[in-house]
Each structure stands twice: as structure tokens, then as C-alpha cells.
Amino acid sequence: MTTLLKPKDLARLHAAAFRESRPWGTEEFEALLASKHCFCVGDSHGFAIGRLIAQESELLTIAVDPVSQGKGHGRLLLQHYHDEAQARGANTLFLEVAKDNTRALNLYKTMSYEVISVRAGYYKRTTGTPVDALIMQLKL
Ligand SMILES: CC(C)(COP(=O)(O)OP(=O)(O)OC[C@H]1O[C@@H](n2cnc3c(N)ncnc32)[C@H](O)[C@@H]1OP(=O)(O)O)[C@@H](O)C(=O)NCCC(=O)NCCS
């Protein structure tokens, strides 16, 4: 499963899913999709973008439309991302997640990712205290 989604569809889904963060614009998605290192999987419910360098793939973002969240789309999407990364030669996957993003964290833990590093106070919030970033790894 790769994607037929256009940069403007990705920007719309991203803005809807990440309501508390700066939305990525259409131009940013155009640039990512044009990169030979990046790949995208997804459908009308959501998408994931990875960047593969050598045998390591980083999950740059994953977003499911809010109306479709909690129905298994994210898990399926992550599995498609794994399959695509592996098909492209990855043997190790990395991602970064805010420590307070319970939904995403639960998804990654149940897909066997492990925390390998913490960036203390990495995410600056407009209100409240900064939140740690967890770096997670999965060996395929
Ligand atoms: C994170 C995200 C991609 C998950 O997609 P989703 O479609 O909502 O997730 P799923 O329905 O496939 O659920 C996958 C797992 O997430 C966890 N989860 C789902 N809903 C949850 C909730 N309300 N609270 C806590 N954990 C939850 C569960 O572990 C679930 O697995 P299970 O139902 O088998 O127990 C999606 O919620 C999203 O786009 N969030 C906003 C953007 C974001 O935070 N992206 C990740 C940045 S690192």
C-alpha cells in the first residue's frame, strides 16, 4: 500500500490530526514526496511518511483523520509503513513521540517499539511545561 494522496490531501489530514501543533504545508509535503529517501503510505483515512537512509527508516509523521481515529486505521497504517520500509531494505525503525501522546505511545508499544532515548523538555508547549520526546526503536 503506497498512496495516491496528493500533497494537499496530506496537508489537510495533517492539520486535522495535529490540531495543537504547527500544520505542515502543501509545499512541505511536495518536498518530502520529491525526496528519493522518503516514502508515503496511506488512504483517505490517514497516512504515514518514512525517510529511509541506508537500512534505517525514520517515521517522520503519522496522522489519522480525527473522525476515523480509534478504529484501527493507525495500527494498519503503521503495519503498512513497516512492510514498505522493509521492502525498501530497512532493518531498523525509529520514531519520536511526545511522552504525553498516550494514544500514539500505546500504539507504538503494542507494535513492539522500545524507548531507547529521551530528549528532556524537547516539545515546547504554548501552555504548561515542556514535554519530553521519547525516541523509540524497532528492529525488524
Ligand atoms: C496516533 C494515531 C496515528 C493512532 O491512530 P488511530 O487510528 O487512532 O489508532 P488505532 O485505532 O489503530 O489504535 C491503535 C492503538 O492505539 C491505542 N489507542 C487508540 N485509541 C486510544 C485512546 N483513546 N487512548 C489510548 N490509547 C489509544 C491503542 O493501543 C490502540 O490499539 P488497540 O485498540 O488494539 O488497543 C492517531 O490517533 C492520530 O493521528 N493522532 C494524532 C496525530 C499523532 O499524534 N500522531 C503521532 C505523532 S508521534
* 113 grid coordinates: 517499539
pLDDT of residue 2: 66
- In three-state secondary structure terms, 74 is helix
User: Considering only CA atoms, which residue is closest to atom 15 of ligand 1?
Assistant: 107
Would you list the domain boundaries of the chain? Answer: 7-139
Q: DSSP state, 113? A: -
- Conformation bin of residue 40: beta by default, left when phi > 0, alpha when psi is -120 to 50: beta
Active site residue 84: no
Active site residue 96: yes
pLDDT in tens, the chain (140 residues): 566 799 999 999 999 999 888 889 999 999 999 999 999 999 999 999 999 999 999 999 999 999 999 999 999 999 999 999 999 999 999 999 999 999 999 999 999 999 999 999 999 877 788 999 999 999 99
The most distant pair of C-alpha atoms in the chain lies apart, rounded to whole Å, by 42
Entry pTM: 0.95
Q: Is ligand 1 within 6 A of the CB of residue 99?
A: no
- In three-state secondary structure terms, 34 is helix
Distance from the CA of 108 to the center of ligand 1, in angstroms?
9
* Measured CA angle at 31 (ends 27, 33), to 5 deg: 115
> Does domain 7-139 fall into CATH 3.30.2130.30?
no
